[in-house]
Amino acid sequence: MRNNIVEEYRTRMVMALQTTALAADDYVLPTAGSSLIVLRCLITMGNAADLTPAPKTADDATGTNATAMASDIPIYVNGVRQTDAKSQAVTAATGNFIVDFVIDPKLIPAGKYIGMSFANSDVGNLLACEIIESVAYKPSVT
């Protein structure tokens, strides 16, 4: 029996803390057999310029052939469910925000990487992103 959070979930950095003045994207290979993936963006807004993180898939860690998610996905901002979409705008002038993108691993094509992307925002807005994967053993149904 698994009774430890590190046995049930694998967490890795996708995107280190950075200013959002210039567009950026980073990708990681999902863990095989994950039953659920959450891309969690930690955002600090210091300027009213919108910041819109968007999960994407790509051919490799450098983002070759980056593509938006195939369908809308569940999104939570500070724990509050938002309308399912492919991205989430944060429009506040100041404050700290946690934006969770909940991704069914079936939405990630075989062999593709998953990551986070954002367009130019402002030097006063900061973002970091981590991937949280449910890797606890799940028996398959035959």
pLDDT tens digit sequence for 19-47: 999 999 999 999 998 999 999 999 999 99
Structural domain span for residue 36: 10-134
5 is a domain residue: no
45 is a domain residue: yes
- Pull the structure tokens for residue 130: 């981590």
pLDDT band per the 50, 70, 90 thresholds, residue 7:
confident
Residue 142 has pLDDT above 60, yes or no: no
Number of structural domains in the chain: 1
Q: What's the whole-model pTM score?
A: 0.91
101 is a domain residue: yes
61 is a domain residue: yes
CATH number at residue 24: 2.60.120
140 is a domain residue: no
141 is a domain residue: no
